[in-house]
Structure 1
Amino acid sequence: MMQARTKKSFRDLWRQRTQVIAVGVTIALGVMLYVATAGAFENLTVSYQQTYDRLAFADLSATGGDPATVAQAALDAGAASAITRTQVDPPMLIDGTKLVGRVVGLPTESHPAVDDVGVIEGSYLDPGATDQVLVERHAADTFGLVPGDSLQVWSGSGWQDVTVQAIVESAEYLWPARSRQDVLSDPNAFAVIYASESAVESWAGTSPNEALVLLPDGASDSLRADVTAAMTAAGATSVITQLGQPSHATLNEDLQGFDEMSKAFPVLFLAAAGVAAWVLLTRRILQERPVIGTMMAAGARRGRVLRHYLGQGVIIGLAGAVVGAALGALANGAITAAYTGALGIPDTVVRTYPWMIGLGLAFGAVVGLLGALGPSVVASRTSPAQAMRPVADASPPGPWSRFVARRRSLPVGLRMALRDVVRSKRRTFATMLGTVLALVLVLASVGMMVSIMDAIDTQFNDVVLSDASVVAQAGTGAQAAIMAVDGVASVEPTVSGAVTVIGPDGSYATALNGFRTDTVMHGFRDSAGNALTLPEDGILVGHAMSDMLGVQVGDTVTLSTGAGDSQAVIRGFVDEPMGTSAYASLDTATAALPASSVEQFAITLDDGVDRDAMRATITGLDGVVAYQDQRAILGSVEQYLGLFWAFIGVMILLGTVLALAVMYVTMAVNVVERTGELATLRAAGVPLRRVAGAIATENMLATVLALPFGLVLGVMAADAFLQTFNDDLFSLSIHWSWWMLPATALSVLLAALISQWPATRQIARVDIAKVVRERAA
């Protein structure tokens, strides 16, 4: 049979069921978020790894030196497999669209041992075929290609007609990134195809230029380091780990940010739930002091009293956790499928993790337990005589109370509220704490959203000032032809190429971009937002390189390119939201990069032009081989941030619900605690409207007092969460529009005002006769 103490716990909780439900909802939200997002993170990690294992994704890839020698050195150092291949980026013509794509060499006799491809539609390359290609699925989707279609690839002898043999998926291009610094690009400006190794070598007029290495399963960090060192000693100038591979790095950045948020936001929610439980049980214990005194006078041990009230917290916590864990388990698979579907991840693994559900239940119980711990300890340490005395929650009138009492011009209700805010410090603190948590929850989500939107705006309005980039065959007079197109405002020559920047503490593979020193196509700014000028000599580099390479302004670094090594002085660090690149004048960049058979241009367009028409017109010019619309990159950005926007949207929604729940609990409990006082006022003839107004005014004053603390902590929380996204791919800083903080403060004030409505209903339902009888007894 159920013990009397347990019956009392359930009865007491039922009497305040609306507040108990509100606390349970906050716990359920926190547990649901944890189980759903942490489970989805585990599923996504396993999904990626399954694809990588199935397609033998390279652990290390190297360029420079003799690839065959580098591959053999890796095998000698303990690698499981090592191959060489040719990879080039020639112009392509696909369905009338000119672009600079990527051609990767494959053996035709069998699938490669490293970096294999999975055939989705069609069949693998026929043995010895030189006119067949496999098209990576992102390019196939963009251009609507199917097996049997044809496209053209530029070679040293002109355009080569090839036939699409199959549509394939590749672990290297789960996210179609050309390079580490070009992960977000115009989908119409990049395509990856695979052809026979002999065909690629023939088209490019080169020999294999990459070595790919697969390590044994479960390889240790020391083995990885040994193989890397062996490859470097064999002549490799750049060795990129799987973590640094552009596609994996991009997806991993997104995934790690998701992981950080999947931990941080549930912690915030559960902290808010713990505070709500603390407020609820603290006020209940103050109400039940006579009952506690009676129990202890009748022989109840302190431990029993402690366990009684701790049990109430555990009941609330477990009830909320059970609901949250069930909802989280259901949402887990939906989040995983939505993510892999949106990004086109080939393998989707959905699992339910019992240990995670158990952990969620434990979190709920612990939150309820901790929320009840303080009040329960206070209850158990209360002596029977002390408990039987009337509660004196408010301090005696002090200078502030006397000052307020003399302000006869103020309404009585306002004077009561001003007095009680200071006299009942515990009640005021509870209300302020609820307000602070509400602001932190809302600002943490809104701040991240607004800051990333600002970063996108900065990238495409202050940093990238051009509207499009064009690649043309050298010596064809393309610059004049482009400038003559109606709708083109300006044209500037540029250069760009792959470079490895080598400093005292390491190296970093990126892009070296050359502009005129007075360019209007790109903006350069430092971390303080001040404009920088592109130097005639030396380079500007992304500020992330300072720590990665151990360099400062004035230091000399080595630029390793296909043309060899050269020295350059760092003249400044640029702060750009997306990417970590190197910039130099046209002369400096041209001297560092290998000679090219193509020219590059940045262009700006007149306002209001049809951008699709401009693409068609310019790509139709003689000599033009590629066109990239900078504004089309925004589509890739939105796709990449799709999960983030969805997550933040849910956080804002749930954060709002949680804020309302926390504030409702604090406001409603204030009314419950003051039942006797309110009944006395009503019995004395004070109208309901005036009583409710005094309580509401006190609550709103406490809310206003909490606003500065909540705003400061909310801004700090948003900045801390945003920093989890920062690395060499993204450099984000917190940004607030002038209206954001006032608007958030007003929204919380509105939530507090809404919370007064159920509190007013509670006041109206107070049984005056019953309370007066109880007090008289």
Structure 2
Amino acid sequence: MRATTRKTLRDLRRQRAQVIAVGITVMLGVALFIASAGAFRNLSDSYRFTYDRLHFADVSATGGNPESIAAAARDAGAAAVTTRTQTDPPLMIDGTKLVGRVVGLPAGHQPAVDAVDVSAGQYLSADDPDGVLVERHAADTFGLTVGDSVQVFTGHGWHRVTIRGIARSAEYIWPARSRQDVLGDPHAFAVLFADEQAVRQWTGGGPNQVLAELDPTHADVAATSASLRRAGATDVVAQVYQASNATLREDLNGFSELSIAFPLLFLTAAAVAAYVLLARRVLAERSIIGTLMAAGARRGRLVRHYLQQGLLVGLFGGLAGAAVGVVATGAITRAYTGALGIPDTVTAWHPGLVLIGLAFGAAVGLSGAAAPALTAARTVPAEAMRNQTGARPPGAWSRLVARMRWLPVSARMALRDVFRGPRRTLATMLGAVLALVLVLASIGMLTSVSTALDKQYGQIERQDATVVTATGTADSGLHEVRGIAAVERSRTGQVVGAFGNKTYATQLQAFPVGTAMHRFRSTSGQWLPLPDDGVLAGAAVADKLGIAVGDQLTLSAPGGHTVSARLMGLLDEPVGTSLYSADRLAAQVLPASTVNTYLVRFDDGVDRDTMRQNVSRLPGVVAYADAHAVTAAINQYLGLFWAFIAIMVLLGAILAGAVIYVTMAVNVVERTNELATLRAAGVPLRRTAGTLATENLAATGLGLPFGLVAGVVAAHAFLDTFSSDLFRFDLVLSWWALPAAALGVLIAAALSQWPAVRAVRRLDIARVVRERAQ
């Protein structure tokens, strides 16, 4: 072993506590990167494997003549085409009434496109026309098993069907009714798969949907979509925009962004800590460096020696992080796919990510060591051997602090030293800044999502429940139910908005003019009235269609009519992107329905379970949805998200503590002579340690304003990664967020003083004084 290598290992052992702190920071950064990036790849592969195995449609079309549209898909080069019937009738499951979905499948064999995976029971059979498959999420929500029965509301009343099997579908990995209804009460939506011929009998019509799977070798989704529209399709949806897939992709895209941003914070902090550690080592060894250079040691060898120290620290943390990251990758993937019920879980070994993680660790160590190594190479031997350093006269800050006679001497010393070692102070400040970025980005997402949900389901949507009744049923029964304060008729249907050559599929919701059940908040923050003529639209419509307020928007609905309406305003709504109009306009667009929809509001203090039972018993009521159950379901869905935020806040405190601990430890070593002199002069340990603590807390405090600003900017950037026409999140930080984040970093800094106090206590005063006298 070479002498320089032995010296490197000896030096690292001498500062093993600081080396471990830097290594842990590198480990966290590398582990976060490998785990999050690996899980992202595994999840993407899991989705793709399921989509390919079940032949998930690349393009789906509704409206028009299904046979003509199917022929157009084949002419456009589709590898497989399926026509089917899909309807959203009321369902009754174990006494719960809801608006569900029934999808027609061929009996006896799987469809060529959008097949299902039967995980329990048997597939559909022509010999059992009343046998159905229930989608996995609904089966879990309602506790359904093979042999149970549910009821479907048809044109002839309630029809009982029997569950033949439990199915998983690529269309409903995330159980979304539509792009505008991706978050909802799980007890208010269920999907059944039934014999196609039976579904046609229940609806009294024919197929209304065409699904096409393209040849992956020469797939052209845009060209195929254009062909289907020319063939008469009213709404054409590419796979990337399908409700379930789009929701999952939105989540994955945000996950992908965070898999780079958060690890980068830790690796940057590790580079800073490594720099502080090795800069101190070079300063402490100036006389040794000078002696070696005077004896003929080459500058390049000195540079390589100190780079080697940084490289070993980085590789030490990188190897540990790679081991943790590889294990965490599989755990995260399985937890995610298990929570969502993804049929296939793909966990692969990603050696490329491990190599990148190790390269990150090595790069962090080398970047932290680069400046100290170059400093060592520029050392002048004669000055270094005499241990001469250029004396600098006191600066303006030192003179100002010296005049603060009202402060104790120890406090003046601490304040003077803040700018006496500017690099050390900047390192401490940067540690505080990085910690605040991590903490505020996490807290910002937490408070912003909570505020967005409160805005959507507390301020905008004002109803307590939605009730669906059969056509011909009067709403007088609802008014007579004790506990109901108000009832309003509503109408909802799928439409396609067109402007120029662009289209956007969404839902149209209609209310009475002057509605009390829904409020309309403009993008400027003002509350708008519902116009008697024209429509209001979610803000994303303007981006999707390139439309502005005052333009004419063409609306069409499958099975309905096409009308033109003026866009009267753009709305700020956090969840979904819908169109809103008065009932008169909606009646011109939407087709006739076999059910009526009512929004109801309760009196204060009523029992919601009792209201569900009383309303569901009314004659003609075919579905009931509790609006408050939506928020409970959303909080359940976001459970993993809240856990992620809590972990990030904890890691932010660790990051701040690690960087500040290293700078504190180096500070003690740098000032060994000064601290020993104070102790020899009889200065109490408490006051000596207090001087160090004051200096480091002051340096941390200087970094707080920069960290708070950077944290707010980072929180805004992270939220943007989750914003689309599915969700719209504006950064909202509660009044306590900034003070709490700053206080947390200061507490972490204060706790990191404890090792420094121990170091001061263990100072060998006699040895230091002896060495100083020599």
Which residue of 2 is the match for residue 595 of structure 1? 592
| Higher mean C-alpha deviation, range 425-434 or range 751-760 | 425-434
Counterpart residue number, 1:493 = 489
Give the alignment of 1:702-741 within 5 angstroms. Answer: 702-741=699-738
Q: Distance in 1 between matches of 2:423 and 2:355?
A: 35
Out of 633, 647, 671, the residue aligned to residue 644 of structure 2 is 647
Q: CA deviation at 1:393?
A: 8.1
How far apart, in 2, do the equivalents of 1:324 and 1:209 lie?
A: 53
The equivalences for 1:138-217 within 5 A come to 138-217=137-216
Q: SS in structure 2 opposite 1:262?
A: helix
**Equivalent position of 2:77 in the other structure:** 78
Whether 1:484 aligns to 2:480 is: yes
CA contact (8 A) 1:396 1:423 kept: no
1:762 matched to 2:742 = no
* Structure 1 stretch displaced more, 457-466 or 16-25: 457-466
- Paired amino acid for 1:108: A
Match of 1:565 in 2: 562
The correspondence for 2:262, drawn from 241, 260, 265, is 265
Alpha-carbon separation, structure 1, partners of 2:689 and 2:157: 85
- Aligned counterparts of 2:353 and 2:143: Cα–Cα separation in 1: 42
> 2:499 matched to 1:503?
yes
SS of the equivalent of 1:570 reads: strand
Count the aligned residue pairs: 773
**SS, match of residue 80 in structure 1:** strand
Among 515, 531, 536, the residue aligned to 2:532: 536
- Give the superposition deviation at 1:394: 7.7
Q: Is the 8 A contact 2:125 2:195 kept in 1?
A: no
Equivalent residue, structure 1, for 2:453 = 456
1:623 to 2:588 alignment: no
Q: Is the contact between residue 153 and residue 161 of structure 1 (CA under 8 Å) also seen in structure 2?
A: yes
C-alpha distance in structure 1 between counterparts of 2:759 and 2:428, whole Å: 17
Shift of 1:553: 1.0
Shift in CA distance, 395/601, structure 1 to aligned 2, threshold 3 Å: farther
| CA–CA distance in structure 2, aligned partners of residues 393 and 74 of structure 1 | 81
What residue number does 2:552 align with? 556
Cα deviation, residue 390, structure 1? 4.1
Q: Structure 2 unaligned segments of length 5 or more: list them.
A: none
Larger mean CA deviation between 456-465 and 424-433 belongs to: 424-433
Counterpart of 1:87 in structure 2: which amino acid? Q
Deviation at 1:752, TM superposition (A): 1.3
Matching residue of 2:314: 317
Paired residue for 2:34?
Answer: 35
- Determine helix, strand or coil for the equivalent of 1:435: helix
Matches within 5 A, 1:248-647: 248-388=245-385, 390=387, 392=389, 395-477=392-474, 479-504=475-500, 506-562=502-558, 563-647=560-644
Render the CA deviation track for 1:165-205: whole Å, top value 9, x for unaligned: 22211111111111111111221211111111111111111
In the aligned structure 2, how far is the partner of 1:433 from the partner of 1:634? 39
How far is 1:389 from its partner?
5.1
How far has the Cα of 1:157 moved from its partner? 2.0
**Cα deviation, residue 368, structure 1:** 0.9
Structure 1 residues 391, 186: closer, same or farther in 2, change over 3 A?
farther
Identify the match of residue 750 of structure 2 among 741, 753, 763: 753
For 1:125-144, what aligned pairs fall within 5 Å after superposition? Answer: 125-127=124-126, 129-144=128-143
Is residue 35–residue 357 contact of structure 1 (8 Å, CA) maintained in 2?
Answer: yes
Partners of 1:671 and 1:503 in 2: CA distance: 69
| Percent identity over paired residues | 59
Question: Structure 1 residues 564, 706: closer, same or farther in 2, change over 3 A?
Answer: same
Sort the Cα spacing of 1:393 and 1:210 in 2 relative to 1 into closer, same or farther, 3 A: farther
Q: 2 CA distance for matches of 1:403 and 1:264?
A: 41
- Is the contact between residue 35 and residue 328 of structure 1 (CA under 8 Å) also seen in structure 2? yes
In structure 2, what is the Cα distance between the partners aligned to 1:395 and 1:473? 89
Amino acid at match of 2:484: V
CA contact (8 A) 1:578 1:730 kept: yes
> 1:578-627: per-residue Cα shift (whole Å, max 9, x none)?
11111112222222212222211111122332222211211111111111
Query: Unaligned stretches of 5+ in structure 1?
Result: none
Asked if the contact 1:505–1:550 (Cα under 8 Å) also holds between the matched residues in 2, the reply is no
Aligned to 1:272, the other structure's residue is in SS state helix
Query: Residue 522 of structure 2: SS of its match in structure 1?
Result: coil
Deviations 1:245-297 (A, max 9, x none): 11111111122222221221111111111111112112222222222212211
1:642 alignment partner AA: G
User: In structure 2, what residue type is equivalent to 1:75?
Assistant: R
**Per-residue CA distance 1:452-483 (angstroms, 9 max, x = gap):** 12212222111211111111122211x22112
Deviations 1:366-422 (A, max 9, x none): 111111112212221222234335465884212332232223222111111222223
2:328 partner SS: helix
Aligned ranges 1:106-117 → 2 under 5 Å: 106-117=105-116
Tell whether the 8 Å contact from 2:97 to 2:623 is kept in structure 1 after alignment.
yes
* CA apart distance, 1:128: 5.2
1:292-323 Cα offsets, whole Å, 9 max, x none, are 21221111111111111111111000001111
The one-character-per-residue Cα deviations of 1:65-100 (angstroms, maximum 9, x if unpaired) are 211111111111111001111111111222222111
TM-score (norm 2): 0.97
Q: Distance in 1 between matches of 2:352 and 2:127?
A: 52
- Write the distance in 2 (CA, Å) between the matches of 1:367 and 1:155: 66
Tell me the alpha carbon deviations over residues 661-681 of structure 1, each in whole angstroms, 9 at most, x when there is no partner: 112112221112111222222
What letter matches 2:483 in structure 1? G
8 Å Cα contact 1:134/1:168 also seen in 2: yes
The CA RMSD over aligned residues, in Å, is 1.7
4+ long deviations beyond 6 Å:
none
Alpha-carbon separation, structure 2, partners of 1:339 and 1:319: 30
Q: What is the alpha-carbon distance in structure 1 between the residues aligned to residue 218 and residue 286 of structure 2?
A: 63
1:686 aligns with 2:683: yes
Normalised to the residue count of structure 1, the TM-score between the two structures is: 0.97
How far apart, CA to CA, are the structure 2 residues paired with 1:639 and 1:174?
A: 17
8 Å CA contact 1:505, 1:548 repeated in 2: no
SS of the residue 1:536 aligns to? coil
